[in-house]
Chains A and B, each alone.
Chain A
Amino acid sequence: MSGPNEDNNTQLSSHIFGDLLDSIIVDVASECHRIAKLGLDRNLEEEEEEMRLSAQARARVADPSNSSETNTKYVVDIFGQTHPSVATEIFECMNCGRSIAAGRFAPHLEKCMGKVIPISSYHISICLYLSIMIDSYYDREFCAIP
């Protein structure tokens, strides 16, 4: 093979390799982004929960008027319902019947489904349905073009 051709091939190959690697990097970043936004990283969830509770506690201690409404992220609406900072849509878990906020649904399902012993096609369809819903929620909330 002639010299210049070999050099070109080498450069081309490197470039193509770089493209492939970059593409995988984007995939990994996207997956981690999705996990972060959907609250699927349980360690992170627990950490955040602890930080939030301790920040609340500190605020309560520090504030002389001790008004809990202004110091928490929870707002009480006119129906007396609280709206946490995670997504407010409530779903009923088909598995255990509990009401779960959308933002907490994915981690709940992880734990909840683990307790089911028989796997029926009903459960499988529910899982599929839910993962489609979670995906579309993720797309709507975090992928919409501003």
Chain B
Amino acid sequence: MSHSHKLVIKRSSMSRPPPPPPTTNKDQQHQNPSLQEINIKLIQSGEKERLKELLRERLLECGWIDEMKALCRAFTRKKGRNNVTVDDLVHVISPKGRASVPNSMKAELLQRIRAFLASTAD
């Protein structure tokens, strides 16, 4: 929907929370092409958008998005809707959200990402 695209564009330039710190060791930075390069290829080829849509669709199908929305509503009810910020809600749903992605779904996405990486390897 056009609304959510507009919000995404705005959000990414404003109060978007910092990306999670890299969990990998420092060696990675010496060995592989930079994550930035890969990201650029992902975006330019349109694959990033396709992957995101695929993930969103899967998450919708399995009820994950409904679950996250319920968490947001519960938090909003407690804190009061005039006091709630986007950052609040991100922090509310991130831990549970990251932990509750079905393994099969994660595997499917990872496989597709790996396929993309293989296809762009020089």
A residues in contact (CB < 8 Å) with B: 4-5, 8-34, 36-37, 39, 41, 43-44, 47-48, 131, 135, 139, 143, 145
Contact A44-B11, Cβ < 8 Å, known A26-B17, A29-B93: no
Name the B residues within 8 Å of A24 (CB-CB): 52, 55-56, 59
Query: A30 near B24 (CB under 8 angstroms)?
Result: no
Contact between A28 and B72, CB atoms less than 8 A apart: yes
CB contacts (< 8 Å) of B24 on chain A: these are 11, 15
26 contacts between A and B (CB under 8 A): A11-B28, A12-B35, A14-B110, A18-B20, A19-B39, A20-B51, A24-B52, A25-B68, A25-B94, A26-B16, A27-B56, A28-B69, A28-B97, A29-B89, A29-B92, A29-B93, A30-B8, A31-B4, A31-B69, A36-B72, A44-B73, A44-B77, A47-B77, A48-B81, A135-B6, A143-B14
Q: How many residues of B contact A (CB 8 A)?
A: 55
* Chain B residues packing against A (C-beta within 8 Å): 3-4, 6-8, 10-11, 14, 16-17, 19-20, 22-24, 28, 31-32, 35, 38-39, 42, 48, 51-52, 55-56, 59, 65, 68-69, 72-73, 76-77, 81-82, 84-86, 89-90, 92-94, 97-98, 101, 106, 109-110, 113-114, 117-118
